[in-house]
Structure 1
Amino acid sequence: MTRSARETGRVVVQHPSAVLLAAQLVAVLAYPFLDESTTGRALLGVVGTAVVLIAVWAVRRTPALSWVAALLGVPAMVFTVVEAFHPGNDAIVLVNALLHAPFYFFVSYAMIRYLFHDDRVTRDELYATGAAFTVVAWGFAYVYAAVQVVWPGSFIGASGPGDRSWFELLFLSFTTLTSVGLSDVTPVLPNARSFVMVEQVAGVLYVALVVARLVGLTVARKAR
C-alpha cells in the first residue's frame, strides 16, 4: 500500500461524517443520470445501500447505540435494492419509505448527539454538521414518499399529474429544510402539508441549536 493510500485511509477513518456527507452528495448528483433504466435503478440501489452502510459506520463513532442503527439499517438496505427493481410497486415503496425514514432520523439524532457530547469543535464535527442536515432531508423525503402512497395526490408538480418521483420529493425536502422555497413540487392535501410544516420547523431548530452551538464554542475557544 502506498503512502498516499494509507493517508487517504487514515483520513476516511478519522472523518466518517465527511464520507457520509460526500456519499449523499454523490448519490444526489448521480440520480438524474441513472433513474431512466432498470440497470440505472439497480446502480442507484447499490449507491443507496452504500450510503446506508456509511451511515451505520458514522453512527458507530457517536455515543448513540450502533446496534439500533444496524437494526434499522439492515432491512433498509434490503428494500433499497428491492425497490430499485420494482419502483412502481406501492407496497414495496411504502415499506421501503417506512424503513428508511426512522433510520435516517435516528442517524441524524446520533450525529447531533455527537455534536453536543463535548465542549470542543473538531473537524469531523464540522463535517457532521453538514451530514446530519442532509440526513434529515433524506429522512423527510422518505416520509413524503410514504405520504403519497397512503394519500395519493398529496403532491403536485411542474412535471405533470401523478406521483412525484423520489428525487422530486428529495428536492422538495431540501428546499423546505433550507427554507429557500424554490421547489416546483407543492403539497396540496392537508396530511402532506402537515409533514412539510414539521420539516420547516425542524430546519429552523437545526440552525438555531446546532449551528449556534458550534459558533458559540468556536468563539469561546478563541476568547480563552
Structure 2
Amino acid sequence: MTGPTLDVRLAARRHPVRTLVRHPSAVLLVVQLCGVLLYPFAERPGWGRGAVEVFGALVLGLAIWSVRKSPTPTWVALILGVGASALSVADALGHSPGLELASALVHALFYFWAAGNLMTYMLADSDVTRDELYAVGATFTLVAWAFAYVFTALQIITPGSFIAAVHPEQQRTWMEMLFLSFTNLSSTGLSDVVPVTPHARSVVMIQQLAGLAYVALFVSRVVGLTLARRR
C-alpha cells in the first residue's frame, strides 16, 4: 500500500500541471481569493479597471472549467460566461446604467449556475475527493460573488438601496457590495454597508438563510463523509 501511494505523490510533484488539472476547484478558489485583493485597484483611475476586467474574464473561464464534469450541460455556463464577459467589456467602453444592469444580472446568473453545478458535483457520490474539499470553498466564493452582483443590480434599479457610514449619499462600490456579501454569507455581520429599502433587506435575508443552509447541508456533509472515511 505504501509503494503505489508514494509513486503517485512523486508523479504529482513531477507533473504540477497534471495536478492542477485534477483539482480545478482548488485553482478557482485561489484565483477568487486573489481577486479579493485585486478588486480594490478597480476603484483607481487608469489601468486598474482594465486589469480587473481581464482578471474577471479569467475567473469566468476557470469557473466554466471547474463545472465541465457536472451533470448539467456545459454550454449553458459557456453562454452565460461569454455573455457576462462581453457585457463587462461593453460597460467599460461605454458606461451606461442599462449596460451595467445587464452585466450585473448576467454575472449573477452565471455565478449562481456555477455554484449550483459545484453543489451537484459535491453531492454526486458518497466518497469525498480532495477536489471536492476545495469545491466547498470555491462554491462559497461563487455564491458570494453572485449575491454581490444582485446587490449591484438592486442599487441600479433603486438608487439608495444601500448606505454606509462613509459617504452615505453615494452609490456603493463593487468592493463594498462584495464585502457586504461575504459578511452576510459568513454570518459575521461586520459590514458597515446597510440595506435600507424593503427589497434590499429581503435579498439580504435570503442570503443569510442561504449561508446557514450551505453550512448545514453541504459543509457538514463533506466533513461527516471525510471523518467516516478515516474511520
What's the TM-score, normalizing by structure 1?
A: 0.93
One-letter amino acid matched to 1:134: T
Residue 227 of structure 2 corresponds to which residue in structure 1?
219
Indicate the structure (1 or 2) with the bigger Cα radius of gyration.
Answer: 2
Among all aligned residue pairs of Structure 1 and Structure 2, give the percentage whose two residues are the same amino acid.
51
Where in structure 2 are there 5+ consecutive unaligned residues?
A: 1-10
How many residues matched? 220
Rounded to whole Å, the distance in 2 between the matches of 1:163 and 1:113 is 36
Residue 150 of structure 1 corresponds to which residue in structure 2?
157
Give CA-to-partner distance per residue, 1:136-180, whole Å, 9 cap, x none.
000000000000111110000122122101110000000000000
One-letter amino acid matched to 1:82: A
Are the counterparts in 2 of residues 75 and 99 from structure 1 also a CA contact under 8 Å?
yes
One-letter amino acid matched to 1:122: T
| Partner residue of 2:49 out of 21, 24, 41 | 41
Are the counterparts in 1 of residues 41 and 52 from structure 2 also a CA contact under 8 Å?
no
- SS of the residue corresponding to residue 190 of structure 2 reads coil
Residue 131 of structure 1 corresponds to which residue in structure 2?
138
Give CA-to-partner distance per residue, 1:52-79, whole Å, 9 cap, x none.
0100011103222211111211100112
| Partner residue of 2:217 out of 169, 189, 209 | 209
Aligned-residue offset at 1:36: 0.5
One-letter amino acid matched to 2:199: N
Residue 102 of structure 1 corresponds to which residue in structure 2?
109
Q: Which ranges of 4 or more aligned residues in structure 1 deviate by more than 6 Å? A: 3-6
Give CA-to-partner distance per residue, 1:68-93, whole Å, 9 cap, x none.
1112111001122233345x521111
Residue 17 of structure 1 corresponds to which residue in structure 2?
25
Change (3 A) 1:119 1:195: same
More divergent stretch after superposition (5-14 vs 200-209):
5-14
Residue 159 of structure 1 corresponds to which residue in structure 2?
166
Aligned-residue offset at 1:207: 0.1
Where in structure 1 are there 5+ consecutive unaligned residues?
A: none
| Partner residue of 1:51 out of 52, 59, 80 | 59
Change (3 A) 1:179 1:111: same
- Could you say what the CA RMSD is over the residues aligned between the two structures, in angstroms? 1.7
Aligned-residue offset at 1:183: 0.4
- SS of the residue corresponding to residue 194 of structure 2 reads strand
